[in-house]
Structure formats: C-alpha cells, structure tokens
Amino acid sequence: MSQESQHGKWTLSDSDEDNIIPPTPPKKPNSEEKAAPQMGSEARQAAHLNQSNPVKYENSSSPAVKRKRETDEGGWNLSSSDDEAPSSAPKVKPRQSRSSPQKKIENKRPPSPHGPAYYKEEPSGFFEDNLSAMSDTYRFYLNKVTGIEKKYNTGALHIKVLFSQFNYCFDIPWMVKQYPPEFRDKPVTIVHGEKRESKARLIQQAQPYSHIRFCQAKLDIAFGTHHTKMMLLWYEEGFRVIILTSNMIQADWYQKTQGLWMSPMYPRLPEGSPETAGESRTHFKHDLLEYLRAYRAPELAEWIERIKEHNLSETRIYLIGSTPGRFQGPDMEKWGHLKLRKLLSEHTCPVQNAEQWPVIGQFSSIGSMGLDKTKWLAAEFQRTLTTLGKASSSSSPGTSVLLVYPSVDNVRTSLEGYPAGGSLPYSIQTAQKQLWLHSYFHRWKAEVTGRSSAMPHIKTYMRASPDFSQLAWFLVTSANLSKAAWGALEKNNTQMMIRSYELGVLYLPSAFVTKRYSFTVSEYSNGPRLGSSAHFKSLLECK
C-alpha cells in the first residue's frame, strides 16, 4: 500500500511482500509442520512492489511481525540469520507457458522504498570527527543519525571516516563515494555471500570500478548467510580492524541505530617475527586469523600473511565468530554461543545473587526457535548467556531474560516510518509457532542517546546487575536471535551446527581492569560511547 507522509511516498514491502502486523491468534500448530525458509537480504536487492493490502495491527505494543503474501514477485530482500527449516512437503512449481519469455536479470540496483528524494545531503561538519580525540579505552561507538539533535551525534561515527570489505550487502556506487576522492581508486576486496541473480547484480554494480575484486564466501549449509560485517583497513603506518552492525548501503547509515568497535592502529612487527608475536591477552590475533582461514578462500591469503606481520597486542576485546559447519570435540567451542560460553566461564567471576542479574538481548531479526522455549532459547542458549565463571555449570532458570525488539508503534513513529520495518524481519509464520516468545519482549527505547526514533539494526547482548548500574559483560555483534547465527547442538549435545557467518566483539571487565567483575554503567556524558555506557543506559530503560 502506497501512502503519503512527512517521509515522502513509500510502499510497505519485503522479500515476501509482507505486511508489518502483529500475529493474529493462530490455529493450533501442527507438530509436523515446518516453517517455510525465510532467506532474504538487508541489501534490499529486488525492487519493491505496490501493495493492495493495507497495514493491519491490533495492538501497537505488539512486536513488528510480517505476514507472508502469496506472490512470485520478489520485494525488498530482508535479511537475517534466520534458520527456519524448509517444509517437508515437496514444492510444486507452477507450469510456465512455453511461449512466455524468461525474465532477464535486473542489473540495476533497486530503488529505496523511501523514494529517490528521501536522503538529504548533510553539511560537511556532520561527518567530521577527530578520531584521535575519541575514547581509546573501550573503542565502542554508535553511528551518526540524521534527524536527531546534534548533541546526540557527538562522538558518533559516520561511514565517511570508515571503509568496508566484509559485509552482508553492498551498494557499491554509494560505498565508493564515501571515500575521499583521492582514495577512490585504492584496491578493495569485497567478501560476500551472494548467489545467482543477486551475485550478478553485485558484479554489475562493480563494473565501472576496476579496483574492486570479490571473494565468494562458501555457504555449504542450507539457509545460511554471510552476515559478518567487518573492515580490514590498510595504511602506510599499519592496519586497523573495524567490526560493526551496518551494511554497506545508505539506509543503514542514515536513520538507524548501529554500533561498531574500532581497533587501535596496529603497527608492523620487526621483520622476521614469528606468527605468535604481537598477540594480545585476549588472543585476538589468533582468533582473527582462524576466522579468516575458515573461509578457505585463496583471495584472503594475502590478508592473512599481512596480519601475521603486525602487532595486535593492544587489543582488549575478545572475538566471537560463527562459521558454517558441523563441529565436534574441541572445535565445538571455537564458534557461536559455545565460544561465548567458554570465554564467560574462563574470564568472568561469579557474583552474589547471580540469579537476580538479568540477561538482556537486543537484535533486529528473529529466527525459528521451536514450539516452546525449552527447544533452544531457555536451554542451551540461556545456559550460555547465564554463565559467570567456572561454577556456572548449568542453566539458571531463575535468571530473567529480557529481549528488546521494536513494537509496531516503535516502527510507526520512527524517523523512517513503516519502511523501517523492512530491516526488522520476523515472519508471521514463525511468530505464530512461537507465541511463547512474546512474554520475553520489551520495547525499544533509547532516550539517553536520543535514538528512540532511530530503529535498531545494532545487535547487543549483556548481563546487568539488579539495579542496572553494573554490567558483567557486553557483546556487540552481527548475530541476531537465531540458531543459524549462534549454532544449535545436535547428536545428544556432541555436535554443534552453525549455518551462517557472524562476527562480534565481547567486552569483559578482566581485560580492562584487574580484579574487577563488572563495568560501571554511568549516565550519558560527552558522546555515545561505551566509556559513558550510553547505549547500555538506553537499553536498560526498555523495561
């Protein structure tokens, strides 16, 4: 349905031409039914279509849920790491007339649902930031958001001071324009997981740019995605790693809430240094190299060799990655939520009344987790999230798990209006099969950072004290709430299966201050950074 508003003319759509609505009371689910696969792309890779069905919602506090429409047309592909199983019944394709012509691959990038005139040019001062003057302790930043008060953008970063290689989706012409003109012909390697028509569109976009080459991420397990968002930036004086939650498209950097971690500048090691030189206490160098090797891509061999030659010893965060595969034995703890559990067990300490310290999860997409909470969320995943020290050997059923996900009203009143729901995929087919999840939900609210109306594409997980003044740990990541992203145990817990590539960074107090079991959450001051804990404070207001 096309509508006029202060945001211009826009059309509600997504990869399945869904409408954003809360779930209606479903029929009793059949235990043998399986949800249809929901694979799409935050890249919005197919042109949106006008819709005849109006938006419906019964309660504005309900989570933003999408209803699948019966259509063969592709809308804006909406991504996530969802791992909804395919239907067990074989799919019957409609017979096509022999005389009907085949559709040609559309090489032109689809338009924005906001319309071509939606994005406005910001003054040059909007993008300027003195990186050397920013906090170098935690190195966590939010993105700049167009349309909020200037004070809330103080200390936030824009893509114009950052550049990307690994990501889920790309608008290559827009990305190239974010470089200063004198650097727009520097070599760029893009690591992606696109296939078939979407891959053809991506390659077509890059044709005018001879300095861009591609690396195809292997996706060997069905319904997996290359969801990692990372930059490896090379300078004359060294290199830098940036791990973030934004795609390389303009919409993700305009009026959404995003987060990123930016490493220090890593200098070169003396010539002839061993690979183990320049390691940090968090084993970041080892874990980064292991993650890159997991791609099994010759195109990344040069990067791996160059990273070996640099000193990464100043890194204070831990790397949490996911790579597709089925893992057994010690390899089970290399990736996904078992890697997080291992680190929380080895590098955190038990606290008094730990069951009163809630776990907070905040994300932009939700996958299929089973007919009840014991299938995954309240079982293996909650055991991971509630781990504090080696004494945490089992799940803590008394620990509250608070899940922050925008409601329909959050989306309706956002800076983008209903089109913001295009980046919050949660199909109604899945929602109707896990109504139990709604008791976990809390609305999005970010008053401290002025981002209540900037819908979150950021994904964060944390463990907070009962009064929300302390954090036992904090994680910013590309991983949404899904088994595809975090992994699921199989074969009587002897095997971990992961479908997607993901990457995030874990903050533990022990890596920053000796003999401390928590970070202190302070009020917003001097910009939205981890040091001021502004994002934490915003999430803790979501109750």
Task: Name the binding residues for substrate.
Answer: 229, 459
The answer to whether residues 26 and 432 touch, using CB atoms and an 8 Å cutoff, is: yes
Q: What is the pLDDT of residue 195?
A: 94
On the CB side of 175, CA atoms within 13 Å amount to 26
In angstroms, the Cα distances linking 195 to 40, 112, 202, 224 are 12, 21, 10, 12
Query: Can you read off the two tokens belonging to residue 472?
Result: 């036992």
C-alpha to C-alpha distance for 43 and 373, rounded to whole angstroms: 31
C-alpha to C-alpha distance for 385 and 387, rounded to whole angstroms: 6
In angstroms, the Cα distances linking 315 to 142, 143, 280 are 19, 22, 6
Nearest to 431 by CA among 380, 388, 371: 371
Helices then strands, counting H and E runs in the chain, come out as 11, 21
Tokens 């989570």 — which residue?
A: 63
C-alpha to C-alpha distance for 230 and 515, rounded to whole angstroms: 31
Active site amino acids: 227, 457
User: Cα torsion for 510, 514, 519, 524, to the nearest 10°?
Assistant: -120
In angstroms, the Cα distances linking 227 to 42, 61, 108, 157 are 10, 29, 23, 21
The answer to whether residues 55 and 12 touch, using CB atoms and an 8 Å cutoff, is: yes
Q: What is the pLDDT of residue 514?
A: 63
C-alpha to C-alpha distance for 354 and 352, rounded to whole angstroms: 5
Q: CA Rg, the chain, in Å?
A: 22
- In the chain, the largest separation of any two C-alpha atoms, in whole Å, equals 74
The answer to whether residues 171 and 205 touch, using CB atoms and an 8 Å cutoff, is: yes
Three-state DSSP at 462 gives strand
Q: Cα-flanking dihedrals φ and ψ of residue 253, to 5°? A: -110, 10
Residue 537's CB: how many other CB atoms inside 10 A? 20
The answer to whether residues 204 and 107 touch, using CB atoms and an 8 Å cutoff, is: yes
Across-strand partners of 462? Answer: 360, 474
User: Cα torsion for 382, 385, 390, 396, to the nearest 10°?
Assistant: -40
Positive or negative torsion for Cα 222, 45, 475, 310: positive
In angstroms, the Cα distances linking 400 to 54, 359, 364, 385 are 37, 6, 20, 11
104 Cα distance to chain centroid:
32
Which pTM does this prediction carry? Answer: 0.78
- From first to last of the 543 residues of the chain, give the pLDDT tens digit: 444 444 343 333 333 333 333 444 434 433 333 332 233 343 343 333 333 333 333 445 567 665 443 332 223 333 344 444 444 444 444 444 444 444 444 444 445 566 667 777 766 555 555 554 445 678 888 989 998 998 899 888 877 766 656 778 899 999 999 888 999 999 999 999 999 999 999 999 999 999 999 999 999 999 999 999 999 999 999 999 999 999 999 999 999 999 999 999 999 999 999 989 999 999 999 999 999 999 999 999 999 999 999 999 999 999 999 999 999 999 999 999 999 999 999 999 999 999 999 999 999 999 999 999 999 999 999 999 999 998 765 666 789 999 999 999 999 999 999 999 999 999 999 999 999 999 999 999 999 999 999 999 999 999 999 999 999 999 999 999 999 999 999 999 999 999 999 999 999 999 997 667 889 887 543 333 333 344 555 554 443
Residues with Cβ within 8 Å of 299's Cβ and at least 6 positions away in sequence, in order, are 189, 191, 213, 214, 215
